[in-house]
Amino acid sequence: MTQPSSLEKKEPLSVELTEVWKRFPGVVANAGVELSIQRGSIHALLGENGAGKSTLMNILAGVYRPDSGQLKLHGRSHQFRNPSDALSAGVGMVHQEFRLIPSFSVAENVVLGSAPSLIKTGQVEQRVAEMAAKFGLQIDPSQPLWQLSMGERQKVEILKVLWRDAQVLILDEPTTVLTPSEVDDLGEILRRMADDGRSIIFISHKLHEIAGICDHATVLRQGKTVANSLPVADTSQDELARLMVGASPTISTQQSAAVIGKPLLELKNLSAQGDRGMNAFSGINFDIKSGEIVGIAGVAGNGQRELADVIAGLRPSISGEIIMDGADITTKSPNHRFQSGLAYIPEDRLGVGLAPRLSITDNAILRVYRHQRKGPFILGQKALSYCADIIERFGVKATDVNGPIAALSGGNLQRLLVGRELDGKPSVVIASQPTRGLDVQGVKAIQELLINQRDSGAAVMMISEDLDELLAISDRLLVMEGGVLRGEFDPRSASRQEVGMAMLSDAQVRATP
């Protein structure tokens, strides 16, 4: 295909998206986005949660179809109908959630779905090994997947895409599962792939990583491109941050309207194990007082989830004490804790907080059914009116309360869950990633609910990976890293950088297992 004569003599862009629009019910995810990526470069796609990055990448990877807009690869127009269309055109995506089979070997996982018709294990393993070596991926193709760390699994995902000869690789927040030294490794691997002529799109929130890894950066804000292909070397991190958050870089902090009172939750020297029998966290000491939100910041997987589970009673502690409003609840059951005023909004909404196969009503009454019954029977009318009340007060959009809960959208699921948990006027609220994956309105609604709860005198603990969010709504900010607390900050005076440094402190020590 011949390009119209242009002043530039450069080869066509490897990816060129123009005027891409994509609407979902209630949300405009992409409002005329532009993206252009040069061959052989590592291109950062930046933007806050909900800025439209994932939608755009899902369009590029053939998962969604755009409402309008043009998509060109190496100068040629494409319309992808599904991910395999995109893959055969050379676009491969490494998702945040890995899609791998634990009992298969590395090589089997890599070739799965596109294996040569007659598989000779030795040959396949050798070819996978050659490909891995070419790009500096240190991995043993014959090793079973379940033995690998998260960082190694990610390499398998990358190999899968390379095996299908993708020229454009999309990595969706690839560093969230990595230790800092693994992040450095990844940077080198990506550089080799770029030097090989491939283009890499790197989605991240972490500006220091962008600075270290990427050549160019495109910034999205509210579904629009606010900066197209900035050279990263010439752009300061402050500038990128300003572009991401918009005109006013200072985030309006919600000042506590409540008087800070006595401690309602005290953790004393608390330790617990993770799923793999290693210490998830140890020696945690802090308290949360009436009328304050304590934010827990940290990269995912540093013990925050386990901490929330231990406080809620879903995971045993191995030492230490949990004191709630003066009473020791360390060994009490989850239900006892709830009845004494502890609400828990778990990270896994549909699966821990809610029962996916049951109706909206059944899920609404999870905390109250024990008290709404006559003899052995649950009072059906009371359940319905209770559910209707939650739906109305917390703005859940649901048409049929007897319909399956799984049919609700993410934001409505979370409103129902949060509403149910806050309905009993809890004195302590543990919220784990309560706004993750929600749209802008949903995030705001959930944050307001938590702030109201604080203002009415509750002690709130909020775990989030979104530092901005924590800086905006916390009264105190604790940083968790490697299962210990690395520092306490006042969100009104702390800078992102200070907090960010604490999130990565001591990282090198931990990286070597």
Q: Give CA separation, 145 vs 103, 154, 158, 200, 407, in Å.
A: 6, 11, 14, 25, 33
Nearer to other proteins, 203 or 345 (CB): 345
Q: Are 419 and 390 in contact (CB under 8 A)?
A: yes
Nearer to other proteins, 193 or 360 (CB): 360
Six-digit token string for 293 = 């939100």
- Residues 336 and 439: their CA atoms lie apart, in Å, by 34
How far apart are CB 25 and other proteins at their closest, in Å?
6
Nearer to other proteins, 207 or 311 (CB): 311
Compute, in degrees rounded to 10, the torsion defined by CA atoms 11, 14, 16, 17. Answer: 180
Nearer to other proteins, 85 or 466 (CB): 85
How far apart are CB 362 and other proteins at their closest, in Å?
7
Nearer to other proteins, 22 or 205 (CB): 22
How far apart are CB 440 and other proteins at their closest, in Å?
17
Q: Which residues bind other proteins (CB under 8 A)?
A: 21, 23-25, 64-65, 67-68, 81-82, 312, 314, 333-336, 338, 344, 346, 348, 351-358, 362, 366-367, 369-370, 373, 376-378, 380, 399-400, 403-404, 406-407
Which residue matches tokens 């950066």? 217
| Contact residues for 4 (Cβ-Cβ < 8 A; gap 6+) | none
Q: Give CA separation, 335 vs 186, 313, 332, in Å.
A: 44, 8, 8
How far apart are CB 282 and other proteins at their closest, in Å?
23
How far apart are CB 88 and other proteins at their closest, in Å?
14
Six-digit token string for 379 = 């009072």
How far apart are CB 19 and other proteins at their closest, in Å?
13
Give φ, ψ of 372 to 5 degrees: -105, 65
3-state secondary structure of 427: coil
Q: Are 311 and 267 in contact (CB under 8 A)?
A: yes
How far apart are CB 249 and other proteins at their closest, in Å?
33
Nearer to other proteins, 252 or 399 (CB): 399
Which residue matches tokens 């990506």? 190
How far apart are CB 267 and other proteins at their closest, in Å?
20
Nearer to other proteins, 106 or 312 (CB): 312
The edge-to-edge listing of strands for the beta sheet with 292-297 is 342-345, 428-432, 459-463, 292-297, 476-481, 484-489
Nearer to other proteins, 58 or 435 (CB): 58
Give φ, ψ of 143 to 5 degrees: -70, 135
- Residues 315 and 332: their CA atoms lie apart, in Å, by 11
- DSSP 8-state symbol, 2: P
Nearer to other proteins, 132 or 322 (CB): 322
3-state secondary structure of 34: strand
Six-digit token string for 244 = 């991401």
Q: Are 411 and 419 in contact (CB under 8 A)?
A: no
How far apart are CB 461 and other proteins at their closest, in Å?
17
